[in-house]
Chains A and B, each alone.
Chain A
Amino acid sequence: GQQVMQIPQYQHVQEGEDFTTYCNSSTTLSNIQWYKQRPGGHPVFLIQLVKSGEVKKQKRLTFQFGEAKKNSSLHITATQTTDVGTYFCAGRSNDYKLSFGAGTTVTVRA
C-alpha cells in the first residue's frame, strides 16, 4: 500500500532560523496536503498541492510538490515560537483517503 515517509522526525530550531521538512511517497500522488498540529490539539489543514512542480507560499511557509509528484517539502523561514507543533504531510493517490506521514515535531529555542 501507499506509504508516506517524512523526515526529520524532530527539528529543534533557534528562533529566527530557517528549516525544512521533507515528505516522500512510494507511489505517485494525485495531490499532497500539509497539516499542523499544536501540542494537545488536532491537525489543522494548511494547504493542498496538486500540480507537478507546484510551489505555494503562506507568509513564512513555502510548500513545494516535486516534479514526479512523489515528494514534497515545507520550508519555514525566520522561525517563531508560534511555529511550534507537528507538521504532517498527507498524500492522496487514486482514492479519496489520505495517507499521513509520521510528522516532524518542531521545537523552538528562544
Chain B
Amino acid sequence: DAGVIQSPRHEVTEMGQEVTLRCKPISGHDYLFWYRQTMMRGLELLIYFNNNVPIDDSGMPEDRFSAKMPNASFSTLKIQPSEPRDSAVYFCASSYMGGYTFGSGTRLTVV
C-alpha cells in the first residue's frame, strides 16, 4: 500500500489566489481527516469525514475554507481566497478502527 497520498508537496501562492490541496486515503479506510500544523497552534483538526460524509467541520477557520470528499478515494481542501495567515503544513489522514495514517503533508506558503 502506498499510504495516504497528498499533493502537491509544496505550494507557494499569492494572497488572494485559490488553493486546492488533494488527498487520496488508504483503500478501505472509512474515516478521513484534514489537519493543519503550525508552530503556534500545533496540530488542529479542520474537518473529518466518515464514509465520504462530513461529520464535523467545526475546526474550519472560516468560510474561505471548504472541503469535499466526492468518493472514497479522493478528498480536497480548498482555500479561497488565500491569506498569509493560512501558511502552514496541511496533513490529510485516514483511519479504520484505530490509529491514523498521515500523508506527507502539503507545505503551503501564501505570500
Tell me if A102 and B103 are in contact (CB < 8 A). Answer: no
Q: Give the tally of cross-chain contacts (CB within 8 A).
A: 46
Q: Which residues of chain B in 39-97 are interfacial with respect to chain A, using CB atoms and an 8 Å cutoff?
A: 42-43, 45, 48, 50, 55-56, 91, 93, 95
Pairwise interchain contact B100-A97, C-beta atoms closer than 8 A = no
Secondary structure at the B interface, as helix, strand, loop or mixed, is strand
* B contact residues, total (Cβ < 8 Å): 20
Interface contact B98-A48, CB-CB below 8 Å: yes
CB distance from B103 to the nearest CB of A (A): 7
Neighbour of B42 across the interface among A42, A46, A47, A103, CB < 8 A: A103
Contact pick for A98, options B45, B104, B105, CB 8 Å: B45
> Which residues of B are found within 8 Å of A35, using beta-carbon distances?
99-100
Tell me which of B91, B101, B105 contacts A45 (CB under 8 A). B101
Q: Max chain A CB contacts within 10 Å: which of B55, B99, B101?
A: B99
Contact code string B12-53 (vs A, CB < 8 Å = 1, else 0): 000000000000000000010100000000110100101000
Chain A residue contacts of B42, Cβ below 8 A: 100-103
Are B99 and A97 touching (Cβ within 8 A)? Answer: no
B48 near A43: Cβ-Cβ < 8 Å: no
Contact of B56 among A33, A44, A48, A95 (CB under 8 A): A95
- Report yes or no: A45 in contact with B48, Cβ–Cβ below 8 A: no
B108 to chain A, nearest CB (A): 15
Selected A-B contacts with CB under 8 Å, 20 pairs: A33-B99, A33-B100, A35-B99, A35-B100, A42-B102, A42-B105, A43-B43, A43-B91, A43-B100, A44-B102, A45-B99, A47-B99, A95-B55, A95-B56, A96-B50, A97-B45, A97-B56, A98-B45, A100-B43, A103-B43
- Known contacts A95-B55, A96-B55, then 7 further A-B pairs from the complex at CB < 8 Å, ordered by chain A residue: A43-B91, A43-B93, A47-B99, A48-B99, A98-B100, A101-B42, A103-B42
Residues of A with Cβ closer than 8 Å to B? Answer: 33, 35, 41-48, 88, 95-103
